[in-house]
Structure 1
Amino acid sequence: MDKNNKVFGIFNFKSNKNESLCENNEPQEGLENTSVAEVDPDDPPVLPDVQKLPSESIDIGDINTGPIRPKLQTYPKTVFGKQNRGFSSTLFDGFPWLEYSIQKDAVFCYPCRVFGTGRSEDTFVTKGFRNWKKISGSISKTSKFNSKSKLEIHATTKQHLINSEKWASYTQNIKSGSVHTQMASAYREKVLKNRAYIKNLIDVVLYLERQGLAFRAHNEEKTSINQGNFKEACVLLSKCNEDFSTIFNEKTNYTSWSIQNDLINISAQMIKNTIVNELIESGFFSVMCDEARCFRQEQMSICVRYTKNLKVYERFLDMCKLVKDTRIVFNCLETLYVYFSHPGNDAKFTEIQVKLGIKKTSLTRLSDTRWNCRVRNCVAVKLNYKAIVTLLNDEINSSTNKDVVQAIGIMTIITKPSFIVNLIILEEVLQIINILSTQLQKKDATLGSAVTLIEGVIKTFESLRTEVEFHNIWEKIINFTKINNIIPDFTGPNSKTSKRQRQSTSNLEDFHVFATTSSEQQNQNEFNQYTESYWRTHYYQIIDTLIIHFNKRFSSNSLELATSIDYFHKMNYYESQCFIEQYKDLLNVDVNTLQSEMLVVKNCVSRRNPNFTLEDIKLIMDAELYPNLYKLLSLSLTIPISSAICERSFSAMRKIKNWLRTSMNQDRFTNLSLIYIERDLSNELSNEKILDTFAISNRRLQL
Structure 2
Amino acid sequence: MLNRTFGNKQRKLNGKWLMEKKWLRYSKSKDAVYCVNCCLFGGNDGREKTFTSGTSDWKNLSSLLKRHESETCHINASSRAESYLDIQSGKCESINKKLSESSRITVNNNRHILKRIIEIIVLCAKQNIPLRGHTAENSNFDVILTAFAKNDEILSDHLASAHYNAKYTSPDIQNELIGICAEHVKEKITSACRNCPFYAIIVDEATDKSTKEQLSLCVRYVDDNCCVNEEFLGFVECPSIKGTDLCANILSFLQEVDLDILKIRAQCYDGASNMSGKYRGVQALVRERSPHANYVHCKAHCLNLALVHSSNIPCVRTMMSTVQDISFMFDYSAKRLNAFCKELSQDTAARAEMEQRTKLRTLCETRWSSRADALATFKNAFSVVLHALETLQEDGDDKAGQYLGGILRFDFIIALIVAEHLLSSTVALTNLLQKEDNDLLHAVEETKVVVQLLRNERNDADVWDALYDKASNIAAEFDIQPSRPRRAARQNHRANPDVHTVSDYWKVTLFYVFLDHLVQEIESHILSNQDRFAALYLLPKRLHQLQVEMLPAIYAAYAPDIDHTFESFNNEVARWKVRWNIAENRPVRLQETLQKTNKDLYPCIYNILAVLLTMPPTSASCERSFSAIKRIKNYLRSTMRTERMSSLAILHIHKDMDVDISKIINTFASKKGRKLDFF
TM-score with structure 2 setting the length: 0.54
> Alpha carbons of 1:431 and 1:687: their partners in 2 closer, same or farther (altered >3 Å)?
same
Q: Secondary structure at the match of 1:207?
A: helix
Among residues 672, 677, 682, which one is paired with 2:653 in the alignment?
A: 677
Q: Does 1:385 align with 2:382?
A: yes
Which residue in 1 is equivalent to 2:668? 691
Which residue in 2 is equivalent to 1:640? 616
Q: Does 1:557 align with 2:484?
A: no
- Please say if residues 291 and 301 of structure 1, whose CA atoms lie closer than 8 Å, have aligned partners that are also in contact: yes
**Quick one: which amino acid aligns to residue 427 of structure 2?**
N
Distance 1:377 1:285 in 2: 38
- Please say if residues 193 and 221 of structure 2, whose CA atoms lie closer than 8 Å, have aligned partners that are also in contact: yes
Question: In the TM superposition, what is the alpha-carbon distance from 1:605 to its structure 2 partner?
Answer: 7.6
Q: Does 1:431 align with 2:424?
A: yes
**CA-to-aligned-CA distance 1:103-123 (integer Å, 9 cap, x gap):** 999883524554355985466
Distance 2:674 2:495 in 1: 67
Among residues 201, 204, 207, which one is paired with 1:287 in the alignment?
A: 201
Q: Secondary structure at the match of 1:382?
A: helix
Which residue in 1 is equivalent to 2:311? none
Identity %: 18
Distance 1:101 1:410 in 2: 117
Distance 2:329 2:209 in 1: 12
Q: Secondary structure at the match of 1:125?
A: helix
Question: In the TM superposition, what is the alpha-carbon distance from 1:214 to its structure 2 partner?
Answer: 0.6
**Quick one: which amino acid aligns to residue 375 of structure 1?**
A
Distance 2:230 2:48 in 1: 81
Question: In the TM superposition, what is the alpha-carbon distance from 1:691 to its structure 2 partner?
Answer: 0.8
Gaps of 5+ in 1: 7-12, 14-76, 89-97, 136-148, 400-406, 465-472, 487-524
Which residue in 1 is equivalent to 2:571? 596
Single out whichever of 362-371 and 278-287 deviates more from structure 2: 362-371
Distance 1:189 1:445 in 2: 52
Q: How does 1:601-616 map to 2 (within 5 A)?
A: 610-611=585-586, 615=592
**Quick one: which amino acid aligns to residue 433 of structure 1?**
T
Question: In the TM superposition, what is the alpha-carbon distance from 1:312 to its structure 2 partner?
Answer: 2.7
- Please say if residues 375 and 430 of structure 1, whose CA atoms lie closer than 8 Å, have aligned partners that are also in contact: yes
- Please say if residues 69 and 75 of structure 2, whose CA atoms lie closer than 8 Å, have aligned partners that are also in contact: yes
Which residue in 2 is equivalent to 1:264? 178
Q: Does 1:86 align with 2:19?
A: yes
Which residue in 2 is equivalent to 1:125? 52
Which residue in 1 is equivalent to 2:130? 215
Distance 1:443 1:681 in 2: 17
Which residue in 2 is equivalent to 1:232? 144
Distance 2:56 2:582 in 1: 93
Distance 2:420 2:205 in 1: 20
Among residues 547, 557, 566, which one is paired with 2:539 in the alignment?
A: 566
Distance 1:251 1:350 in 2: 61
- Please say if residues 536 and 542 of structure 2, whose CA atoms lie closer than 8 Å, have aligned partners that are also in contact: no
Q: Secondary structure at the match of 2:232?
A: strand
**Quick one: which amino acid aligns to residue 202 of structure 1?**
I
- Please say if residues 303 and 318 of structure 1, whose CA atoms lie closer than 8 Å, have aligned partners that are also in contact: yes
> Alpha carbons of 1:113 and 1:251: their partners in 2 closer, same or farther (altered >3 Å)?
closer
Which residue in 2 is equivalent to 1:497? none
Question: In the TM superposition, what is the alpha-carbon distance from 1:381 to its structure 2 partner?
Answer: 1.0
> Alpha carbons of 1:232 and 1:638: their partners in 2 closer, same or farther (altered >3 Å)?
same
- The count of residues paired between Structure 1 and Structure 2 equals 528
**Quick one: which amino acid aligns to residue 229 of structure 2?**
E
**Quick one: which amino acid aligns to residue 390 of structure 1?**
H
Distance 2:420 2:538 in 1: 35
Question: In the TM superposition, what is the alpha-carbon distance from 1:251 to its structure 2 partner?
Answer: 6.1
- Please say if residues 541 and 587 of structure 2, whose CA atoms lie closer than 8 Å, have aligned partners that are also in contact: no
Distance 2:234 2:398 in 1: 36
- Please say if residues 350 and 384 of structure 2, whose CA atoms lie closer than 8 Å, have aligned partners that are also in contact: no
**CA-to-aligned-CA distance 1:242-296 (integer Å, 9 cap, x gap):** 5632576726744344543332233223433443344344232223468999999
- Please say if residues 363 and 380 of structure 1, whose CA atoms lie closer than 8 Å, have aligned partners that are also in contact: no
**Quick one: which amino acid aligns to residue 384 of structure 2?**
A
Among residues 306, 309, 327, which one is paired with 2:224 in the alignment?
A: 309
**CA-to-aligned-CA distance 1:562-588 (integer Å, 9 cap, x gap):** 743635997986487454442125544
Q: How does 1:506-517 map to 2 (within 5 A)?
A: none
Question: In the TM superposition, what is the alpha-carbon distance from 1:429 to its structure 2 partner?
Answer: 5.0
Distance 1:100 1:606 in 2: 98
- Please say if residues 440 and 450 of structure 1, whose CA atoms lie closer than 8 Å, have aligned partners that are also in contact: yes
Q: How does 1:395-474 map to 2 (within 5 A)?
A: 427=420, 429-434=422-427, 436-437=429-430, 447-448=440-441, 451=444, 454-455=447-448
Single out whichever of 438-447 and 263-272 deviates more from structure 2: 438-447
Question: In the TM superposition, what is the alpha-carbon distance from 1:175 to its structure 2 partner?
Answer: 5.5
Distance 2:425 2:136 in 1: 55
- Please say if residues 361 and 384 of structure 1, whose CA atoms lie closer than 8 Å, have aligned partners that are also in contact: yes
> Alpha carbons of 1:125 and 1:427: their partners in 2 closer, same or farther (altered >3 Å)?
same
Distance 1:638 1:597 in 2: 22
Distance 1:118 1:229 in 2: 60
Q: Secondary structure at the match of 2:164?
A: coil
> Alpha carbons of 1:612 and 1:232: their partners in 2 closer, same or farther (altered >3 Å)?
closer
> Alpha carbons of 1:633 and 1:376: their partners in 2 closer, same or farther (altered >3 Å)?
closer
> Alpha carbons of 1:217 and 1:621: their partners in 2 closer, same or farther (altered >3 Å)?
same
Distance 2:56 2:544 in 1: 96
**CA-to-aligned-CA distance 1:608-647 (integer Å, 9 cap, x gap):** 7543576576466245x54433432321331235667568
Q: Secondary structure at the match of 1:593?
A: helix
- Please say if residues 34 and 55 of structure 2, whose CA atoms lie closer than 8 Å, have aligned partners that are also in contact: yes
- Please say if residues 439 and 450 of structure 1, whose CA atoms lie closer than 8 Å, have aligned partners that are also in contact: yes
**Quick one: which amino acid aligns to residue 388 of structure 2?**
L
- Please say if residues 184 and 659 of structure 2, whose CA atoms lie closer than 8 Å, have aligned partners that are also in contact: no
Q: Secondary structure at the match of 1:556?
A: coil
Q: Secondary structure at the match of 1:311?
A: coil
- Please say if residues 268 and 671 of structure 1, whose CA atoms lie closer than 8 Å, have aligned partners that are also in contact: yes
- Please say if residues 230 and 621 of structure 2, whose CA atoms lie closer than 8 Å, have aligned partners that are also in contact: yes
- Please say if residues 447 and 559 of structure 1, whose CA atoms lie closer than 8 Å, have aligned partners that are also in contact: no
- Please say if residues 199 and 691 of structure 1, whose CA atoms lie closer than 8 Å, have aligned partners that are also in contact: no
Q: Secondary structure at the match of 1:282?
A: coil
Q: Secondary structure at the match of 2:426?
A: helix
- Please say if residues 312 and 638 of structure 1, whose CA atoms lie closer than 8 Å, have aligned partners that are also in contact: no
> Alpha carbons of 1:106 and 1:485: their partners in 2 closer, same or farther (altered >3 Å)?
farther
- Please say if residues 432 and 457 of structure 1, whose CA atoms lie closer than 8 Å, have aligned partners that are also in contact: yes
Among residues 154, 157, 160, which one is paired with 1:241 in the alignment?
A: 154
Which residue in 1 is equivalent to 2:372? 375
- Please say if residues 125 and 651 of structure 2, whose CA atoms lie closer than 8 Å, have aligned partners that are also in contact: yes
Distance 1:543 1:560 in 2: 25
When the two chains are superposed, the root-mean-square deviation of aligned CA atoms in Å is 6.9
Which residue in 1 is equivalent to 2:248? none
**CA-to-aligned-CA distance 1:437-456 (integer Å, 9 cap, x gap):** 36668999765456465357
**CA-to-aligned-CA distance 1:78-125 (integer Å, 9 cap, x gap):** 569xxxx9348xxxxxxxxx7466999988352455435598546643
Question: In the TM superposition, what is the alpha-carbon distance from 1:687 to its structure 2 partner?
Answer: 1.0
Larger Rg: 1
Pick the structure with more helix per residue.
2
**CA-to-aligned-CA distance 1:207-256 (integer Å, 9 cap, x gap):** 3334x24133645443x4xx314542255247421563257672674434
Distance 1:374 1:130 in 2: 115
TM-score with structure 1 setting the length: 0.53
